[in-house]
Chains A and B, each alone.
Chain A
Amino acid sequence: DIQMTQSPSSLSASVGDRVTITCRASQGINNYLAWYQQKPGKVPKLLIYAASSLQSGVPSRFSGSGSGTDFTLTISSLQPEDVATYYCQKYHGAPRTFGQGTKLEIK
């Protein structure tokens, strides 16, 4: 089975910072990768699909890149409302594995 590994597991950054979260697949998954945001006590929300396509309604400060095995989620200018845990997921074929999550806090 393909494993999904996120790094870092947690990070703290200041408002306005550029933040990057990495997701690595143990085998190539083309661009079948999604990113989700889960705010504390809330339901997960889709941010990015097909590695780099922004879901409708998601602020443009969020972007995704990568293909094959290495992917990144970037927040260009961190806002207080971005405090959340972020998950990647490979979604083509089974199992449809999630990364372990990256908890983002404001410094």
Chain B
Amino acid sequence: EVQLVESGGGLVKPGGSLRLSCAASGFTFSSYAMDWVRQAPGKGLEWVSFITSSSTYKFYADSVKGRFTISRDDANNLLFLQMNSLRAEDTAVYYCVRARLSGYGDSWGQGTLVTVSS
């Protein structure tokens, strides 16, 4: 069974940093691209970042470019999102998503809540 478990969320002050992790199991992690998707309270889904298998390519939404960094540790089946210079508008539940074939997300984690507030 595919499992994606996010961790690392919490309360942080504006300008602060957080590192989210996603532990993957039940599939060959190194063979899949992965996404981070977020959802602000009461709002819709917003794509954040994407990393291909082998970390060959990384893409970011304009709203986080230059502040967030996606990475992966295939030896330990982990996906990361380093978030710096956090803003109030980054407050959201952050989901880790497995991307199939040409890129659609077929499995989602339960999410981790990031709250940016003073």
* A residues in contact (CB < 8 Å) with B: 1, 32, 34, 36, 38, 43-46, 49-50, 55, 85, 87, 89, 91-92, 94-101
CB of B55, distance to nearest CB on chain A (Å): 15
Cβ-defined contact, A95 with B47, below 8 A: yes
Cβ-defined contact, A46 with B104, below 8 A: yes
Residues on B facing A (Cβ under 8 Å): 35, 37, 44-47, 50, 59-62, 95, 99-100, 102-111
| CB-defined contacts of B50 to chain A, threshold 8 Å | 94, 96
Majority-rule SS of B interface residues: strand
A87-B95 Cα distance, complex, nearest whole Å? 15
Instruction: Tell me if B61 and A95 are in contact (CB < 8 A).
Output: yes
- Residues on B with beta carbons closer than 8 Å to the beta carbon of A85: 44
Q: Are A96 and B47 in contact (CB under 8 A)?
A: yes
Of all A-B residue pairs in the complex, the 10 with the closest CB atoms, nearest first, are A94-B59, A91-B103, A34-B104, A49-B104, A101-B44, A96-B47, A98-B45, A43-B108, A91-B104, A46-B106
Query: Which chain B residues border A49 with CB–CB below 8 Å?
Result: 100, 104, 106
When distances are taken between beta carbons in the complex, the residues of chain B under 8 Å from A98 are 37, 44-47
| Shortest distance between the CB of B50 and any CB in chain A (Å) | 6
